[in-house]
Structure 1
Amino acid sequence: MAKAVASTSAPGAASGTHRIAPLWGTENYNMWRIQMEEILSDLDLYGYVNKTIIAPSKTVLKTKRNRKDDKGKPLPNYEYTATNNKYTKWVKADQKALSNIRLRVDRSVLNLIQGCTMSANAWNALATTYQVKGTVGLIDLQRKFFSHQMTDGKDIKEHIQRMRGWFQQINNISPGSCTEANWITTLIASLPDSWDLFSQS
């Protein structure tokens, strides 16, 4: 059964919606990450996630000048600490980024990041949990990619997305190790007998 599609009007968007399949695990993480990077970039929020937009200081030092006492005599300048408006705006934008991430993950995945208060923390937690790395991960992905078989009645679009996700993750770990020719032949070989006519065309 195909996964549900997350639909939401993204905060900060001028118009339109961004619809993508929610993140549910390792199998669709790579595709989800790419799509989320596009969404967050379109909303000018990706800099908060990858920490290229640094948080300003929470407070700023201000000075009161031209002070006078009750008799009108001049008083020395007075320095005080005030809330930094730039920090307040930064927090608001970062929360928009965090909200966009939370709204596009499965409920089971949401449990992992519900305690995160900053978008970068949530983003990194998802990467640590679902991004496949290392030799063991590569072998597991190759096993899934080359041996997976679609059963009759399953959604072909979901099957192709899953296979493509494995293909891209393999090449992310080991660039060039899986060619487009491998992709085409493996995809065709993974289709059930009822798709023989399609495979031969």
Structure 2
Amino acid sequence: MSESSNSTYKIEPLKGGDNYRTWKVKMIDILTDLDLLEYVDGSRAEPADQSAKEDWKKKDRKALSTIRLRVDDSCLIYVEDSKTSKEAWDALNDMYEAKGPIAIVLLRRKMFIVRCEEGGDIEMHIKLMRSYQSQMNTLGQKIEKADFSMLLLTSLPDSWDSFISTFGSTDLEDSNKVIQRILQEASRRNERSANSDAVLTSSSKPSGKSKFNPRITCYCCGRLGHIAAEC
């Protein structure tokens, strides 16, 4: 891919700790595709040879621009004085990357406390749980598939208890299949709810026609069979 393609990558700019992890994953892909990641991670150090050094500086400056152009103005202060792409990358990592025991404790709290509300978006909830699992893996705290399956099922609303009871111990060993079954059940429930709403709406609509009643006299026109409101 040509270097001019740098401008074609569109991602949400880094706005802080909330979107840092997603931003970092996408930036690694962009820098890899542009053959610039080794300048950012320090694996390609500045050479001593003068002619090679000029090419290195040009590539490193491009990597630095690639990073800074995808940082929101509110966070630009942390990298605006960076001289190299690695310096900028490390500064953002030090600022926003969760590290150490406290990060693990806080993340574990989130995973064990989070619950999907009744009627909530199941797919979004699964994505949230997946992000927690991935973050734990990054922190060196790998969560096995069976454990993640149990955490996920535990976080579902109470109305899902009958569905959860259909799982056996061996079913939990493949969390991807557990997620697939949850999404299928969510789709089925949403469809059933939509059909129920449609039936209710249809049954509650007035027919638009009133029955003829010879005992009723309209006070508007004086004729039999209807009331003034229907005249």
Shorter-chain TM-score category? 0.5 to 0.7
- For the pair 1:40 / 2:5, whether they are aligned, the reply is no
Structure 1: tracts of 5 or more residues without a match: 1-9, 61-83
User: Any residues of structure 2 matched to 1:121-160 within 5 Å, and which?
Assistant: 121-149=87-115
CA gap of 1:154–1:126, structure 2 versus 1, over 3 A, is farther
Deviation for aligned residue 1:120: 0.1
Identity %: 39
Tell me the alpha carbon deviations over residues 144-167 of structure 1, each in whole angstroms, 9 at most, x when there is no partner: 233235679998777655443322
Count of aligned residue pairs for this structure pair: 166
What is the TM-score with the length of structure 2 in the denominator?
A: 0.57
Structure having the higher helix fraction is 2
Aligned partner of 1:4 in structure 2 is none
Structure having the higher strand fraction is 1
Q: Give the whole-Å Cα distance in 1 for the aligned partners of 2:123 and 2:70.
A: 19
Q: Give the whole-Å Cα distance in 1 for the aligned partners of 2:27 and 2:77.
A: 19
Structure 2: tracts of 5 or more residues without a match: 164-181, 186-231
Deviation for aligned residue 1:124: 0.7
Amino acid at match of 1:180: K
Deviation for aligned residue 1:18: 2.5
CA gap of 1:110–1:185, structure 2 versus 1, over 3 A, is farther
Q: Give the whole-Å Cα distance in 1 for the aligned partners of 2:72 and 2:126.
A: 20
Please state whether the residue corresponding to 2:32 is helix, strand or coil.
helix
Please state whether the residue corresponding to 1:19 is helix, strand or coil.
coil
Q: Give the whole-Å Cα distance in 1 for the aligned partners of 2:155 and 2:12.
A: 23
CA gap of 1:17–1:151, structure 2 versus 1, over 3 A, is farther
Contact 1:25 1:109 in 2 (8 A): yes
Deviation for aligned residue 1:16: 7.9
CA gap of 1:14–1:22, structure 2 versus 1, over 3 A, is closer
Deviation for aligned residue 1:171: 1.6
Please state whether the residue corresponding to 1:44 is helix, strand or coil.
coil
Equivalent residue for 2:45, pick from 48, 54, 64:
54
Aligned partner of 1:85 in structure 2 is 51
Tell me the alpha carbon deviations over residues 10-51 of structure 1, each in whole angstroms, 9 at most, x when there is no partner: 981558832333333334333332222221111010111011
Rg comparison, structure with higher value: 2
What is the TM-score with the length of structure 1 in the denominator?
A: 0.64
Of structures 1 and 2, the one scoring higher in RCO (CA 8 A, sep 6+) is 1
